[in-house]
Structure 1
Amino acid sequence: RQEVMQNVMRILESVEVKWEHFQTWTDFSRLHLSNKLAIFGVGYNTRWREEIRYHYAEISSQVPLGKRLREYFNPEKAEGRVIMTKVQKMNWKNVYYKFLDITISEARCLELHMEVDWIPIAQTRAAGCSNGSQYLLPGGIPKTYGLYAIGYEEGSGSNSSSSTEDKDKSSPSQEEEETDHCESVEKDKRTSAKVTYCYLGIAEERTLQQCLFQHFQTSGKHYSRGEPSAVTRFLQDNCTGQAKEGVLSGLHIYIKFIEVELDFLSAGSLVECLETAIGYSLKFNKKDAL
């Protein structure tokens, strides 16, 4: 959760929203706070340093901001007791909050970035073709609407297969299984850090499954007439380029997706939202899109 909090703090700083001094509970009953979803932070300063520092930050994506802040500042709640105690003991001078209201689709977009893991896309030789390969999409892609992202990681050669000796090993002990699990978690973290986002898609007219199939199939024209999109051409070129090298050692491709109710998909500036969260531009999104 610390990583998520750091991401939220960075977003709040990048959009330059101002701190507001917490004075009364009625602050959180105001109309502009009562029914909005938002990214918010709680901060403080001391008698010794006027600079406001973060105490906490989160995305209020399920509960309206006003209700969430009232819960957070409630002395009967665990976090509220922390704040009250800090003020009473004069550790803190004042308490502040800041927020950026977001749409439901923007909240899901941030969840896609912070909560959803990348899925690697396997590749295989195209049958009967000496200079081509094809992507193998995983099963379980929803036939519903939502958001999806495509990313890549620089390749470093194909992985060597397990030896016969490894296959003949006896069942691992519980300690070995726990070690393997920890290593797997750490590997997932490293992979997430290395994957570069290049495209954010909105599955609104077609399902997530149909949109991803369109990008990753060989022709790229099954669902659309005319030329394939820039990201589809990139995927095709990457696939062909790897095959020409003789080994699958080019860019490793990843996807992630999240379901969103169709009624909420068109609201918000989704590309700008994700670009702000990741800190760089998406290579294959048109700047006026989404």
Structure 2
Amino acid sequence: SRTAGQATGRTSQILLPAGISLGCELTPHVEHFDPRVLVCHCVCRRRDTLQTVIRILESVQLKWERFQTWTEFSRLHLSNKLAIFGVGYNTRWREDVRYHYAEISSQVPLGKRLREYFNPEKPEGRVILTKVQKMNWKDVYYKFLDITISEARCLELHLEVDWVPVCQSRVTGSSRSSSHYLLPGDIPRTHGLYSIGYETLLACSAPTQTCSPAEGEDSLHHSETENGSEKLDGTVGPGPRTGTAVTYCYLGIAEDRTIQQSLFQHFQGSGKHFVRGEPSGVTRFLQENCRGAGSGQDRESSRVSPQHFAIYIKFIEVELDFLSAGSLVECLETAVGYSLKFNNEASELLL
């Protein structure tokens, strides 16, 4: 996996039992780690990815096509497409087709990738050929769903980019304590996609953390506080998460502005993300959540925001020329298996 701020990472091949090998990123700053933990993480992520891809293929109700000749993968309509595809099989005893493998072909054209699965000279093809020759399988099938480059990046955002926690800083020096968000300093000033998610915090489990001098300085620079006399009392924020407990609530498309500008406008409540003269749903949600964190035990604020959430973001750069293609919100909703609350709210208000 990689964090939202990482464009590339060092890859290492980890030898697994039963001849399995997975490419996993190692964290350079970790001095001592148990390789078994890394292996388990990679296997779990691979399994989750496979389940997600199968769920997408099943949700659009594609029909299986039986493999017949090698030339069908050289046809023009398959040659240059990016796609989500599955390879399946049946047996002489059961006609229903079961999945052998499923994948998002986001870097290699679909035709080339499928030829590798049906070419006995390739590792993937040898497995299939052996199964057929030994009569383990009767026929081999495939199905695919075309995707755009932006949809491929959207799925990459979901499957490969980790959530980044957004801390909240309590500010003292006035009659009432207040709070504001501290966004990370590595948000790109380019176009792309970003997501906002949340995790419910119990009142007794919300941790209070103190920023290190370097971290506080960097975060303050990006939070753009206007009052120079404000004093940081501490930050409230979640610990690191890979995203299993984080719920997506918004997918943003940074097309007219950069990812950094879009996130700043949401989290600072600058009023530029408006629908019909009112703050957008996700901006309003962030504002109320921030007020609830800053007020502590204040009764009035507790009535406004009785529940406090840990907030997370993730983002990925996408070339502007490709950003508007595809149905990105529906793509992500299908991948995660539920609706994005604030994207749907905005659509309803615009009707």
Q: TM-score, normalised by structure 1?
A: 0.85
Distance in 2, matches of 1:78 and 1:265, equals: 35
2:266/2:273 contact within 8 Å kept: no
Shift of residue 16 of structure 1? 0.7
Whether 1:227 and 2:227 are equivalent positions in the alignment is no
Give the partner amino acid of 1:215.
H
Structure showing greater relative contact order (alpha-carbon pairs closer than 8 Å, 6 or more residues apart): 1
| Greater Cα shift, 120-129 or 8-17 | 120-129
CA-to-partner distance for each residue in 1:105-134, whole Å, 9 max, x for gaps?
A: 000001101111000100011343424210
Distance 1:122 1:283, change over 3 A: same
Query: How far apart are residue 228 of structure 1 and its match?
Result: 2.4
Which of residues 13, 34, 38 is equivalent to 2:83?
38
CA distance in 2, matches of 1:196, 1:7: 16
Question: Paired residue for 1:158?
Answer: 206
CA–CA distance in structure 2, aligned partners of residues 214 and 161 of structure 1 = 25
Q: In the aligned structure 2, how far is the partner of 1:85 from the partner of 1:198?
A: 45
Q: How far apart, in 1, do the equivalents of 2:208 and 2:247 lie? A: 24
Kept in 2: contact 1:220–1:228 (CA 8 A)? no
Per the alignment, residue 94 of structure 2 pairs with 49
Change (3 A) 1:9 1:209: same
Counterpart position of 1:138? 184
SS in structure 2 at match of 1:2: helix
Q: CA deviation at 1:224?
A: 7.0
Q: 1:20 aligns with which of 65, 75, 98?
A: 65
Q: Are 1:263 and 2:307 matched, yes or no?
A: no
Distance (whole Å) between structure 1 residues aligned to residue 273 and residue 56 of structure 2: 36
TM-score (norm 2): 0.71
Q: Which secondary structure does the structure 1 equivalent of 2:282 belong to?
A: helix
Q: How many residues align?
A: 262
The alpha-carbon distance between structure 1 residues 11 and 224, as it changes in their structure 2 partners (threshold 3 A), is: closer
| Aligned partner letter, 1:10 | R
Among 69, 80, 86, the residue aligned to 2:125? 80
Q: Which residue of 2 aligns with 1:215?
A: 266
Indicate conservation of the 8 Å contact 2:164/2:241, yes or no: no
Q: Conserved in 2, the CA contact under 8 Å of 1:131 and 1:240?
A: no
The 8 Å contact of residues 193 and 317 in structure 2, kept in 1 or not, is answered as yes
Deviation at 1:78, TM superposition (A): 0.7
Q: Which amino acid aligns with 2:97?
A: I
Q: Bigger shift: 221-230 or 125-134?
A: 221-230
RMSD over aligned Cα, in angstroms? 2.2
- Is 1:104 paired with 2:152? no
CA distance in 2, matches of 1:241, 1:287: 27
Secondary structure, aligned partner of 1:123: strand
C-alpha distance in structure 1 between counterparts of 2:51 and 2:78, whole Å: 23
Moved >4 Å (runs of 4+): 222-226
Distance in 2 between residues matched to 1:278 and 1:63, nearest whole Å: 24
Task: Specify the alignment match of 1:148 in structure 2.
Answer: 194
Aligned CA distance change for structure 1 residues 200 and 88 (closer, same or farther; 3 Å): same
**Alpha-carbon deviation of 1:161?**
6.5
8 Å contact 2:117–2:128 — kept in the other structure? Answer: no
Q: CA deviation at 1:73?
A: 1.4
- Give the unaligned 5+ runs of structure 2: 1-45, 211-239, 299-305
Q: Which one of the candidate residues 69, 86, 100 is aligned to 2:114? A: 69
